[in-house]
Chain A
Amino acid sequence: MIKDNKYYILFFVVFMILLPLAYVVGLVDINTITLWGRYFCFAIAAIGVDLIWGYTGILSMTQALFFCFGAYGMGMYLTLSNLPAGTTLPAFMTWNQVSELPLFWQPFESFPAAMALALFVPAAFAAVFGFFVFRSRIKGVYFAIITQALALAMFLVFSRNETMLGGTNGLTDFKTILGFDLRSSNTKLALYIISFGVLCLVFVYAKNLVKSKFGKSLVAIRDSESRMRFTAYKVTNYNIVIFVIAAVIAAIGGILYLPQTGIITPGRMSVQASIEMVVWVALGGRGSVKGAVIGALLVNLMYSIFTSLMPGAWLYVLGGLFIVTVLYLDKGIVGLFDQLKQKFYPVKSNS
């Protein structure tokens, strides 16, 4: 435990102090900072995937969708607050002959309301969808297929111009956030620090959650759902709640992701995007919160490196990594380290 704390402190010091410092003295440029800021958003989403899949054993293909719900919420606020002077409507609406701001857009004029909705909409969506699916005791592969269908359906809905969310082009062209210039380095650095701070908070929250009795019951559901039922737990409600929690965590990641990327399109919510999130967690180590974070950061870092060095090779590398994980690394990278530790520093059985 003490050893673990040492790593956490190291992690914190590197990303909270050293990296920003390196930027200030000019060793690292601002794009690298923003890149890491984005990775942190993915890591936040990965924690959500780990809670629902790694701990509870429910393979959900909607995590990228909830991520996008958050991002779109932020995007709608930014769109409205960045309207060019003299216009009352986003450009894509004007092109579609819309003369008035649709009703569901109106709350997004205020930042607090937009943030509240960006979290509440995915939560409500997950609750309603989860209620019907979990009540019917759909699980395992069938759950994965149903959520996959849902993700595809939502992708198609968001891609339509009639949905009034920018169609396939999505939402983009933001210049300021709360009055701060999004292109200025200071804003970028601030977003990076906020993202990292939120990642830490979500991490601590998830860590406490899995240690609590609620977290134990999630693992229990994964191991033996029927035993759980016969021990008088209403498994359906537990599934719905963790599905909602995972959705909200994904949305938090999405909210922070948008201002650092500057664009959100329906492509982000595709099934592939959700599968990628699952791959991060599988690689890092499922059933371990730090595994999810390590996996998300590592895979995305590798993605950046490979796509700039040899663009064609990335998919093969990712595929290869996934195969190796499935075949040999049941518990991912975290599990590998534990195994190595066991091998080189065997713990005495009585300690």
Chain B
Amino acid sequence: MLVVNNLFVSFGGVTALNLERFSVKENELRVIIGPNGAGKSTFMDIICGKTKAQKGSVLFKGQELMGMAEVDIAKMGVGRKFQKPSIFSGLSVFDNLLLGIKTHKNVFSTYFYKLKSHHNDKIYEVAKMVGLIDDLQSLAGSLSHGKKQWLEIAIVMLQDADLMLIDEPAAGMSDIEAEKTGELLVEASKTHSVIVIEHDMKFVEQIAIDKVNVLVRGEMLTEGTFDEIKNNKDVIDCYLGSPDSAQEAKVA
């Protein structure tokens, strides 16, 4: 589904990302973890066309994404959820979802668009799934932070993107909300490929049904199942920290 080769990005001479190889299969749920500034969000920015890389290739369904405009990448089936919830705050939740729905999105079709019943059903279905069914008529800007996150996930889901890039979905959520988000993503990965960036290890454990990648200083430290990662010495040193090291830090 997604194959990344020799990707290199630097900002003003500072290497932000240097990936030899990274690939995601169809209907896989991949989690990327790593410390701040490791290049996780930059990686997603490159896939969806927000940032341009200096070198390398990003193949999606066998087609090169590098150099394409965001709109065209989105049209090909890459959906993106940003770290900071990015929704249409001046519109109702229903309208937010309506704009997300996969359909012809050129000006002409939009201008003459009439709400179709299967689109309406789809919106209710997804709204129910993300728990926004009672908020459909509320203004999106008035939602709580957690609900905004869900709304954005819902927009990406309605887009029916083959590859969903989800950046820190559980940030700012309570444990219960985070757990629900996790279920949502696992459910979504049954029919879509999903890449999730996350910090919260409890959340990662919940959703890491496939492989986890660890990104450190722009490079891929390792790739493996959650248990492998958890017990990997390098990962513990670089990112997770061990109970011992915490103890040592305290003593020191």
Inter-chain contacts of B99 with A (CB < 8 A): 213, 216-217, 220, 228, 231, 233
Binary contact readout B191-223 vs A (1 if CB under 8 angstroms, 0 otherwise): 000000000000000000000000000000000
Q: Does A212 contact B (CB under 8 A)?
A: yes
Chain A residues with Cβ below 8 Å from B115 are 213
**How far is B155's CA from A213's CA once the two chains are assembled, in angstroms?**
15
How many chain B residues have a CB neighbour from A under 8 Å? 30
Report the interface size for chain A: residues with CB under 8 A from the other chain. 24
Flag B89-106 by CB within 8 Å of A: 1 or 0 each.
Answer: 111000110111000011
Please provide the chain A residues from 245 to 265 with a CB less than 8 Å away from any CB of chain B in the complex: none
CB distance from A242 to the nearest CB of B (A): 9
B107-A224 in contact (CB<8A): no
Instruction: Give chain A residues whose Cβ lies under 8 Å from the Cβ of B159.
Output: 231-232
| A328 interface residue (CB < 8 Å to B) | no
Checking A223, A224, A233, A241 against B105 with a beta-carbon cut-off of 8 angstroms, the contacting residue is A233
Chain A residues within an 8 Å CB radius of B96: 220
Q: Which residues of B contact A222 (CB under 8 A)?
A: 90
Indicate if A12 sits at the interface (CB-CB under 8 A): no
In the bound complex, do residue A231 and residue B155 qualify as a contact, i.e. CB atoms below 8 Å apart? yes
Find A224's partner among B48, B74, B80, B88 (CB 8 Å cutoff). Answer: B88
Q: Which residue of B lies closest to A236 (CB)?
A: B71
Is A104 engaged at the interface, CB distance under 8 Å to the other chain? no
- Residue B127 CB within 8 A of the other chain: no
Task: List chain A residues, Cβ under 8 A from B111.
Answer: 212-214, 241
Task: Contact check, A213 vs B110: say whether CB atoms are below 8 A apart.
Answer: yes
Alpha-carbon separation in the docked complex, A216 to B115 (Å): 13
Does B22 count as interface, using CB distance less than 8 angstroms? Answer: no
Partner of A213 from the list B74, B80, B113 (CB cut-off 8 Å) is: B113
B88 engages A229 (CB within 8 Å): no
Interface pair B110/A227, CB less than 8 Å apart: no
Q: Which residues of B contact A238 (CB under 8 A)?
A: 107, 110
Residue pair A212, B113 in contact (C-beta under 8 Å): yes
Cβ–Cβ < 8 Å partners of A3 in chain B = none
Which residue of B86, B88, B106, B152 is within 8 Å of A234 (Cβ)? B106
**Do A220 and B79 have beta carbons less than 8 Å apart?**
no
Residues in B whose Cβ lies below 8 Å from that of A228? 99
Mask, B127-169, CB within 8 Å of A = 1, is 0000000000000000000000000100100010000000000
**Does A219 belong to the interface (CB within 8 Å)?**
yes
- For residue B106, which residues in chain A have a CB less than 8 angstroms away from its CB? 234, 237
B residues less than 8 Å from A185 (CB atoms): none
- Tell me whether B98 and A227 are in contact (CB under 8 A): no
Known: A213-B113, A230-B48. A224 touches B75 (CB 8 A): no
**Distance (whole angstroms) from the CB of B144 to the closest CB of chain A:** 16
Chain B residues, CB < 8 A from A217: 99, 110
Nearest-neighbor residue (CB-CB) of A241 within chain B: B107
- Are A230 and B107 in contact (CB-based, < 8 A)? no
Q: Is B87 an interface residue (CB 8 A)?
A: yes
Shortest distance from the beta carbon of A22 to any chain B beta carbon, whole Å = 41
Question: Is B110 a contact partner of A223 (Cβ separation < 8 A)?
Answer: no
A232, B75: Cβ atoms closer than 8 Å: yes
Q: Which of A212, A229, A287 contacts B70 (CB 8 A)?
A: A229
1/0 per residue B166-187: CB within 8 Å of A?
0000000000000000000000
* B95 with A224: CB separation less than 8 A: no
Residues on the B chain within 8 Å of A223, using CB: 87-91
Q: Is the CB of A230 within 8 A of B80?
A: yes
C-alpha gap A238/B113 in the complex (Å): 14
A220 to B95, CA, bound (A): 9
Whether B74 lies near A229 (C-beta < 8 A) is yes
Do residues B100 and A231 form an inter-chain contact, with CB atoms below 8 A?
A: yes
Is A219 in contact with B70, judged by CB distance below 8 angstroms? no
- Is there contact, CB below 8 Å, between B90 and A219? yes
Cα A126 to Cα B172 with chains together (Å): 44
Any B CB within 8 A of the CB of A226: yes
Report Cα–Cα, A214/B114, bound state, in Å: 10
Q: Which residues of A contact B71 (CB under 8 A)?
A: 229, 232-235
The residues of B that contact A232 with a CB separation of less than 8 Å are 71, 74-75, 105, 159
Most buried by A among B88, B106, B113, B159: B88
Binary flags per residue of B35-72, CB closer than 8 Å to A gives 1, else 0: 00000000000001010000000000000000000110
Could you tell me if B89 and A230 are in contact, using CB atoms closer than 8 angstroms?
no
Give a binary string over A259-300; 1 marks a CB under 8 Å from any B CB, 0 the rest. 000000000000000000000000000010000000000000
Contacts of A227 in B (CB 8 A): 82, 86-88, 152, 155
Ranked nearest first, the 9 interchain pairs of A and B with the lowest CB-CB distance are: A232-B74, A213-B113, A220-B88, A223-B88, A214-B111, A227-B86, A229-B70, A232-B75, A216-B95
What are 23 A-B residue pairs whose CB atoms fall within 8 Å in the complex? A213-B110, A214-B110, A214-B113, A216-B95, A216-B99, A219-B91, A223-B88, A223-B90, A223-B91, A226-B50, A226-B86, A227-B88, A227-B152, A228-B99, A229-B74, A230-B70, A231-B79, A231-B105, A232-B74, A232-B75, A233-B71, A233-B105, A233-B110
B residues with a Cβ closer than 8 A to A are: 48, 50, 70-71, 74-75, 79-80, 82, 86-91, 95-96, 98-100, 105-107, 110-111, 113, 115, 152, 155, 159
Q: Which residues of A contact B (CB under 8 A)?
A: 212-214, 216-217, 219-220, 222-224, 226-235, 237-238, 241, 287
* Given A231-B79, A235-B71, A241-B111, 11 additional A-B pairs, CB 8 A: A213-B111, A214-B107, A219-B91, A220-B99, A224-B88, A224-B89, A226-B50, A230-B50, A230-B70, A231-B74, A231-B100
